Chains A and B, each alone.
Chain A
Amino acid sequence: MKKNKKMLAGEETPVVNDISAEGLAAVTGQSEAELFSFVEYHPEEAERIGYSEYSYWKSVWKNFLKKKSAVIMLVVFLAVFIFSFIAISPLCTKYRHYTELESNKKARFTTPNKDYWFGADNIGRDYWYQVWYATQHSVMLAAIVGVGEVVVGVIMGLLWGYVRKLDRIFTEIYNIIYSVPTIIYMTLIALMIGKTFMIMCVSLIIFNWIYTAKNIRNLVFMYRDREYNLASRCLGTKLGTILLKNILPYMISVIILRMALAIPQTIGMETTLAYLGLLDVQEPALGLLLRNSREQFANYPHILIFPAVIVSLITVTFYLAGNAFSDAADPRNHV
């Protein structure tokens, strides 16, 4: 309350109790005659005073920055991700490529020390390099899935929402994908085509886009019959342009949210797939390190801890950041 009073005193027009000529002159520095005369009217000025300084993206950004936990996590994540490049550069390691790792009988399961900063694995390979390399790999592949899923999902979702004829087909596809555990399809694909991470990425995209699409479709329903779209139709704007210019821009926050959430989801899926043996062991990924650590962490916790901490950092970051962003992007929260 104190603070408010202070602000009042500072901000508001001084209350003029004395409206005698002297009083007025004291405050305004102008004579009575001057004060009580008409001034010229400027219509442009009137037009201008209404501007709101509100800018959507600026507010989004400002609100996002307010979510300290998300921002901190994001900064930490970025630092970690950038560091992962340093970590596997010659500055920190003697290895230049994953295939150059060496086993060392004496270093098996070594706990972290000055030679092996993250310790070593079951055959004495440097865990530091593996973890950081896998981090990059996983993040990049998760990003591919995120982007792929969203790109496909958005395109399909826009069509689904806008072209009424397609609704039935898309709904059926949705039911088909939704009502059967994805793992069935994933396993079949793994058996039929292979289980390299790329294949798994593509199949994850194939089975996840529909959720984004459904999300987008619901939003399209929300915006489709808004007056500005009717206006565009009156103006003869083509469907593609309407989707691109009128609808898509409104989806950006959702799109970013989906992308952000796709990353923890993909990494989670990666661990599950690895656990089920549906991931090729030749390609390093955090999921694989985690699943391998399952056997060993009881005796050598560092095998679990390092990848688990990094995985958690990544997933929590994107989860938080995604949600923080979507909160921030909601105009209702621009308070």
Chain B
Amino acid sequence: MEKQERNVILSAKDVFVQFSLRGDRLTAIRGCSLDLYEGETLAIVGESGSGKSVFTKTFLGMLDANGSITGGSIMFEGEDISKLKTEKEWRKIRGGKISMVMQDPMTSLNPLKRIGAQVEESIKLHQGLSGAEAKKEAIRMLDIVGIPDPERRYNQYPHEFSGGMRQRVVIAIAVACHPRILICDEPTTALDVTIQAQILDLIRRLQEQFGMTIIYITHDLGVVANVAERVAVMYAGQIVEIGTAEDVFYNAWHPYSWALLSALPQLGIKGEKLPTIDGTPPNLFNKITGDAFAPRNKQALAIDFKLEPPFFNVSETHMAKTWYLDPRAPKIEQPTSIKQLSERMNMDYGDTLKHPHEDPNRVPVITVKDLNVTFGAGRKKFVAVDKVNFEIYKGETFALVGESGSGKTTIGRAITRINPATEGEIFFKGEKISGKISKEMDQKVVRGIQMIFQDPLASLNERAKVSYIISEGIRNLKMYSTDEEREEMVQAALKEVGLLPEFASRFPHEFSGGQRQRIGIARALIMKPEFIVADEPISALDVSIRAQVLNLLNELKTTHGLTYLFIAHDLSVVRFISDRIAVIYKGKIVELAEAEELFRHPVHPYTRALLSAIPNPDPAIERKKKLLVYDPTQHDYSVDQPIWSEILPGHFVLGNERELSDYRSRL
């Protein structure tokens, strides 16, 4: 309870923020209060649209032009900064007092200014240094945030930096202002898992070094568990629960917090349904009565629909805004998944599951042989996929995991014939589908292999009705005899993915991300495919919605006898859904094994690094974990070429003889 002794550095009371949007008023923040203690790390968690970003932007006066604070106060250093108006007033706060790191490092740096100058700008403004001193300090800052060779890098432009490096620069810029509060708005969302862990580490280090107070904004509970001392859960423009990380992870009380936690795929039990939160967050244009979460709450109380609950204290550090805590409320148990959070997280299924590789009757649906995909030519030539081999057997979910740019999506697209294979062959049920194929074969592929896409916003044609989108494939192949039949098929497909039949006549923009993703699934499903390539189908979705989609995919797998190629960048998600996992790095598959086997015995250093970087939504584990960093130069392939070999039955790894023997010894 030492936190109590800390000073409140910033105190927001009953903040209301409204936006005027398309002539309507949207209340994005509905009376949000928060006390921020000096030196702490607070994480604000919520889904997109929950208002977490907007709320923190009010501390900097950075609301978009159409938004304004319409009520409440934000006290900072004895001043109500919600009343500040002019740029000039705000400039006293910005940077020097409160600073911010934004989500996308690719766009947050001025592309036309040298890195050094951009860092220096902060230094000149807030440390009163100039000239050579400022430059020295800038180089020092670059060094501090872990940019190698900072003196050379000082003169480079942002495009010469990778995403992770850019985020370091952005952090350097923010920290160089020496702010008291640093707001990190999803600082790692746009980064790969391994980089993400490094950045989180960096921020933690800087916090100690500069004694900053940090607010994290994130939707990723893993990140929260990793970094936060205190956690605030936001829903529909309000903080619904706030407490220490332990409070919220192990003893949450708001039904939304429950739902959020239990919907984590990491907590799922293989072969069972994940608990889901149905529906979508409320429309903030509308007036919200009662508890905003009530309509999605399967155990809502009548009063939830009538009156907004007040905050109830669970403990001194822990408050939740739910009627459940009212003594008059019927007794409610926390869901089992919450109670067993830590056990679930570290459950080892290894022994209880059957091993598909032991099944002698399994038939390959897809066989990929020596696949090579190359883009461009000449100097611009880029090998996206390099000699990849695998088979996917009927009825299994085969996961392909790798970072962005690893070539995982390219493999998926090569199978669906969107990107042609440069070399090698792909077989679908024994028939070759790569290269030039006959028209009948092409139709067979269209029918038999379908794809689900990553971005539900981009993967549906905004200007077509849902009925057209879903029926597109069957129209092409004339898989119906009458229009009525076609409509029936559409209705059936909608129903199968849990959408209402009436949706057929609507346009995609009327739907939420999860619903749109299900429309995408319906579109694939209506073709009655045997094999589906699911290209990161949940990574663009909010946590609460991921579970719905994963459940749906699993369900369809059994009801339709589907086989999946599940492409993901996140091993933790994959574990729940997949039977076998292949890890791909820079166009090469480095390790392939049954899911649990891989988790139990990762041998390739890259796999191990990936596993170590998985954010674990359990603060106890997360804080203790040690990060492994993969350095591709550790392989010495100059003499001994790596080979693809099976070190255990069903467990393949890429390595040369020396490495392989090393790997074997570790098993």
Residues in A lying within 8 Å of B, measured CB to CB: 1, 4-5, 7-8, 11-13, 15-16, 19, 21, 24, 27-28, 30, 32, 34-39, 41-56, 59, 62-63, 226-228, 230-238, 241, 245-246, 249-250, 334-335
Contacts and interface: CB of A to CB of B under 8 A. Distances in A.
Nearest to A248: B463
A231 B451 contact: yes
B18 interface: yes
Interface string B177-193: 00000000000000000
26 contacts: A8-B70, A13-B307, A15-B308, A16-B307, A16-B310, A19-B326, A24-B303, A32-B328, A35-B302, A38-B301, A39-B301, A41-B299, A46-B295, A48-B279, A55-B509, A227-B455, A227-B458, A227-B459, A228-B458, A228-B459, A232-B461, A234-B451, A235-B527, A236-B473, A335-B20, A335-B21
Given A28-B303, A35-B303, A50 B515 contact: yes
Given A39-B302, A52-B283, A235-B472, A46 B458 contact: no
Contacts of B463: 56, 249-250
Which DSSP category, helix, strand, loop or mixed, fits chain B's interface? loop
Given A24-B307, A52-B510, 11 more contacts: A7-B25, A8-B16, A13-B288, A28-B306, A47-B515, A50-B281, A62-B23, A63-B22, A230-B453, A234-B449, A235-B473
B476 A41 contact: no
A16 B454 CA distance: 44
B330 A38 contact: yes
A230 B306 contact: no
A15 B451 CA distance: 49
A38 B299 contact: yes
A245 B461 contact: yes
Contacts of A16: 307-308, 310
B605 interface: no
A54 B22 contact: yes
B302 A30 contact: yes
A contact patch SS: helix
A15 B279 CA distance: 27
A13 B310 CA distance: 12
Contacts of B287: 11-13
A12 B450 contact: no
A171 B431 CA distance: 41
Query: Which of A13, A232, A234, A246 has the most chain B CB atoms inside 10 A of its CB?
Result: A234
Contacts of A45: 279, 295
Contacts of A48: 279
B642 interface: no
Interface string B45-63: 0000000000000000000
Interface in B296-337: 296-308, 310, 323, 326, 328-330
Contacts of B18: 4, 7
Contacts of A235: 446, 450, 472-473, 476, 523, 527
Contacts of B22: 54, 59, 62-63, 334-335
Nearest to A235: B473
Contacts of A24: 303, 307
Given A49-B279, A50-B515, A234 B302 contact: no
A53 B329 contact: no
Given A8-B16, A16-B307, A227-B459, A53 B323 contact: no
B71 A49 contact: no
Contact of B453 (A7, A27, A231): A231
Give chain B's interface residue range (CB within 8 Å of chain A).
Answer: 35 or more
A237 B283 CA distance: 35
A245 B468 contact: yes
A41 B301 CA distance: 10
The listed residue with most A CB atoms (<10 A of its CB), out of B307, B451, B473, is: B307
Contact of B300 (A11, A39, A230): A39
A53 B283 CA distance: 9
Contacts of A52: 283, 509-510
A27 B476 CA distance: 58
Contacts of A232: 461, 472
A63 B22 CA distance: 8
A19 B523 CA distance: 49
A194 to B, nearest CB: 42
Contacts of B454: 227
A303 to B, nearest CB: 46
Given A13-B290, A51-B283, A250-B463, A36 B476 contact: no
A13 B289 contact: yes
Contacts of A43: 278-279
